[in-house]
Amino acid sequence: MSISDAQFRIGVAASALVLVTGLTVTRFFGSVSLPPKPEPPASPTGPASQLVARSTATGAVYQDFLARDAATAGVRVPTIEEMQRKLPYRSDQARHVLEVGQPAIELAGVRLAARQLDGRLVLEIENRTGSDLAYLVETSPIPSSSACHDAPALPHNAMVLARGETQRRVECTWQDGGAIAVTRVETLEVSPLSAWYLSLVPPRVVGVEDRIARSHQGVAADVKCSPVVSQAVRSGLERGEIGWRDLVDFYARHRCPTYRFPPSYRAFKADGERDVPVADPGM
């Protein structure tokens, strides 16, 4: 049976309408079977920071840090047993007055002398031991003045004296009759790697006063240590429950970018009295 052109065009249009309608219905109202969505990966059992802290508390990770840090510092890698030894400690709590031009005095392994340098009153500190030395020399300029905080500083390592090294630090601007009262000296003999660790620590973290800490110049390194002191440690220092020796003893054994001082930590009194690293229970 023959059809006219008009009938043919009508048939094509009708077929196209049916096809478009079918596709539209399938697009908006049809359903397609998809594979089930996979379950999300299991989450860690604790915060990421706690997991990292737990991993750094292991002996294997600690030993790896020792090897890498010793290579960076260019020193021998100490053994775990060496890092657990008691550090030789000296202390002098008596008051001594140093005058410019007077002989030096030797206290707790360091030789101290007062000098005048370019209009400044300067304390000269010499390591007289056969080891690198962590040191604290607390002083009070005579006469005391608020101008002492503004005296041009001399960059120096306020944490460590290398074996045989002499450091000079500014105490105050020079005044006729100026002198230095030494009120406390503490020292700890440390290994080369421990000396490098301590040189990274901001002096304020171990209780060094701002007048001295402001001119600290440690070692150049990519790793940085936080200058923030926790409230627990600050309170312990103020009450005398935590001392300079405790803080320095810890940071001589632990890299400060990784390990945080536990407020309950106290300096080793005997070789191997506990394992390292010593983890902060709050981490």
Q: pLDDT tens across 154-206, in order?
A: 999 999 999 999 999 999 999 999 999 999 999 999 999 999 999 999 999 99
The mean pLDDT value for 218-232 works out to: 90
CB 151 within 8 A of CB 210: no
What's the predicted TM-score (pTM) here? Answer: 0.80
Tell me, what's the pLDDT at 11?
53
Residue 8 binned pLDDT confidence (cut-offs 50, 70, 90): very low
Tokens of residue 79, six digits: 């053994």
Tell me, what's the pLDDT at 15?
53
> Helices in 118-269 by DSSP H: which ranges?
192-199, 210-213, 231-239, 244-253
How many beta carbons lie within 10 A of that of residue 281, not counting itself? 8
Q: Which of 158, 160, 252, 248 is nearest to 197 (CA)?
A: 252
Determine the Cα–Cα distance for residues 261 and 117; give it in Å rounded to an integer: 38
Tell me, what's the pLDDT at 84?
98
CB 276 within 8 A of CB 84: yes
Determine the Cα–Cα distance for residues 172 and 150; give it in Å rounded to an integer: 8
Least confident interval from 11-15, 86-90, 102-106: 11-15
What is the pLDDT of the chain when averaged over all its residues?
86
Q: DSSP letter at 20? A: H
Determine the Cα–Cα distance for residues 28 and 26; give it in Å rounded to an integer: 6
Q: Give, in order, the Cα–Cα distances in Å from 14 to each of 6, 20, 27, 29, 161.
A: 12, 10, 20, 22, 97
CB-facing half-sphere around the CA of 84: CA atoms within 13 A: 14
